[in-house]
Structure 1
């Protein structure tokens, strides 16, 4: 198994139950060093705050990013970001994301573009962003393809991991992305698809 694949793990436990969600809200909003990053990520939904907490989970490290609804004391979106080192990509830290998003109709408008704002508007501007299939609870079968497609459309540098070559290769067009996914899905037991999204080409590292 490649070191890139080993950096990917299952999604975190969901927080759909009211008690669990309220407890998470309290833990995040009362944590030391809470930063509001709504403006930096371009997230300006009335009644919501996008916050960042560093190193609250001492055993894991990294960052937590959450969209919180203060009126309801609830969490609408939660991203546990773990910064890892990947020799394949150079010295820049790589952000591995484990995401949960609420299915509540109340949050539907606030969540409409939240993935792009957090992943591409905030994280990818500061770190290399690793996207893997199955990293989002409730994201659906095509979530990975949608996000990578949006990264290409946004003009970010996208590379997809090739298990045979054990290396990332550049993918700059929608057609090339579709060919990669079609090839992966044609296999009996496909490995999870991995994409690296960055503002810097790997060749410039």
Structure 2
């Protein structure tokens, strides 16, 4: 098969995918799964993380199939998608590491009598009260991130809003929580 025939085939598959054709999606999955997996595993060095990444890419592709536009072929599409997904995941890990260090530092600053005085159930009750007092959209965005672990882009896609709106809603929620809990906020968000 000549390279331009493969591209034609890719564009035909993309058109079928847009129409919701499950066989086209299955064909893409069978054709590209192992290529994507190998690229992800080589870059991430972890089999489970690579498998999860590949599944997430195909899930996202299927979810946005109706608006999917292919510009250069699926080899290019998946290469770029893997690259950005890995960057997002590594950035998330990095933020988590920074947060863990900061939390450790803050916990070491709190004396033991303060820690013992904290009544966790009361603290949790206050936390839920503050969250429940947020505007509905703000609550939903915050809960999707904190309880379901969704990224900002996933939330934006799920709720059909811009990433900037998601960022603003999260900022508003954290501001309300910071006002109530100050330095204990990182503990509550874990």
TM range (shorter): under 0.3
Higher fraction of strand: 1
Which one has more relative contact order, counting CA pairs under 8 Å at least 6 apart? 1
- Structure with higher Rg: it is 2
